[in-house]
Amino acid sequence: MVICMCAFHKVADGATLYGLANAWAIGSCNELPEFVAAAKFLPPPIPYVSNGPMFQFQFTNFYCNEQRVSKLFFFDASTIASLRAKAMSDDVPVPTRVEPVSALIWKCVITAGAGTGASKLANLVNMRRRFVPPLPDHCVGNVVAVATACKGENDDGSDLATLVNCIRKSLSQLSSKYVEKQSQDEAIFAIPYDLMEITEGLIRGEIALQVSSLCGYKSYVDFGWGKPSWVSSNPRTTTNNVRLMDSKGLWWNRCVDMSER
């Protein structure tokens, strides 16, 4: 038996989807799930296509691009520990699990390109815990913002430590960016326009890689007949897209959708 779930990203993000799955499981076990009213958290419709006929053509071509390859990679605990050790630096003495893995794939993308010059990585970030005060984990809506890590042309190399430092800086700047908004509501309504910018940046080739981390969510949900043997994410229709997910045991899986090059 297979259970598939799909969310319309204008009104829901990965946290909402997993929250729904877990609430569904709780309800099937005769318990009462908890929800938070979504009205004030939901952003306005995302204006994906906004720059005239030429941009619409580029948008359609980008999202229907057949010249891409989807692959699944697994990282065990020892491999991740080794990557974290290599990524340590004075600026980032304790990298997270996600940071060095994202940096490794980013490094491969840079090497597959020119190997030098500026490069950008866009991280999709769940903002619930980054707001002040934080939003509940189980609030529903599309509460995802974009942290853009930039490696400049004059940065020293593309080693893991350098790229992890770039990623960490972008995450720190993202938190302060939304805290400085006049109100939490203004921050929420600013998010969809940031998402539009990342889409346009991907189309123009300004962003080398987009990373979405679903690690840490309760994805192995028990609906009453035991936990699933496998949970994964479907391949995206876009190129240069990475999704990080937990697997059973000590493994992580990474679904990578890249151009053939």
**Domain of 234: which CATH number?**
3.30.559.10
Q: Is residue 211 part of a domain?
A: yes
The mean pLDDT of 124-151, rounded to a whole number, is 85
Higher pLDDT: 71 or 53? It is 71
Helix (H, G, I), strand (E, B) or coil at 19: helix
Q: What is the pLDDT of residue 231?
A: 84
* Residues 14, 8 contacting (CB under 8 angstroms): no
Q: State pTM to two decimals.
A: 0.80
Could you tell me whether strands 251-259 and 119-126 are parallel, antiparallel, or unpaired per DSSP bridges? unpaired
Task: Collect all residues with Cβ–Cβ distance below 8 Å to 114 and sequence separation of at least 6.
Answer: none
The mean pLDDT of 76-100, rounded to a whole number, is 93
Number of domains in the chain: 1
Q: Is residue 63 part of a domain?
A: no
Q: Domain containing 82: what range?
A: 14-47+68-259
Q: Is residue 6 part of a domain?
A: no
Q: Is residue 7 part of a domain?
A: no
pLDDT in tens, 158-180: 789 999 999 999 998 887 777 66
pLDDT in tens, 215-237: 888 888 888 888 888 888 776 66
Percent of the chain with pLDDT over 70: 72
Q: What is the pLDDT of residue 81?
A: 92
Q: Is residue 124 part of a domain?
A: yes
Q: Is residue 55 part of a domain?
A: no
Residue 254 exposure: Cα atoms within 13 Å on the Cβ side: 20
